[in-house]
Amino acid sequence: LLVVDEAHYAKNPEAKRSSAVRWLAARSEHVLLMTGTPIENRPAELVSLLDIIQPSLLSDAQKEQAVDGSISATALNEAIAPAYLRRRVADVLHELPERVEMVEWIDLTPADRVVYRDAALHRDWHGMRRAATLGDGSTDSSKLSRLSELLDEYRDCGEKVLLFSYYRETLEAARARAGTHYLIH
């Protein structure tokens, strides 16, 4: 049995990772691909994943139609049903805790503002986002300081925290502040 978590990383048929997954899948009796995003940009991504688990599932014509969008959603769903299990929000909604959303505005420190302005002058969008979170790197940014306070509060209450970031550096900084109480990856 081959189980591939985060299988969306194997969607590009030209990538070495995808080739390795295809090679292993061809030598495995059973294959399970798990992903929350089988289609991010193009239907060809789903076709690529289906080719890994069951290459004969779609005919060449169906693959072409899926890629160019000429196949109906109903026909595509019927064709992939034997190999595609999708959990719907309605199926898992009862398992999820109630969503709590808090909006909190954090002012940048003077040092953070300098780094942010420099990135803005250079039209560096990612630099601006990093500066707003990570600051100048020499001291804690205001956002990281607030995150540390929140982590302490949630730890004291026995609560769990799920942190998302587009930037690895932000997660590494959060991990450094969280200590051993949280697993952040």
The burial of 177, by beta-carbon neighbours within 10 Å (0-12 exposed, 13-18 middle, 19 or more buried), is given as middle
Give the pLDDT score at 158: 85
Give the pLDDT score at 23: 95
Q: What is the pLDDT of residues 30-72, one digit of tens each?
A: 999 998 877 766 788 888 999 999 989 999 999 999 888 888 8
Q: Encoding tokens for residue 13?
A: 């048929």
Q: Encoding tokens for residue 19?
A: 């080739």
Give the pLDDT score at 122: 94
pTM (whole model) above 0.75: no
Q: Which of 53, 52, 113 is nearest to 83 (CA)?
A: 53
Report the distance separating Cα 67 and Cα 166, nearest Å: 28
Give the pLDDT score at 24: 95
Give the pLDDT score at 181: 54
Mean pLDDT by 10 residues, the chain (185 residues): 92 91 94 83 84 91 88 87 82 79 88 91 90 80 88 85 81 78 52
The burial of 122, by beta-carbon neighbours within 10 Å (0-12 exposed, 13-18 middle, 19 or more buried), is given as exposed
106 near 142, Cβ under 8 Å?
A: yes
Give the pLDDT score at 32: 93
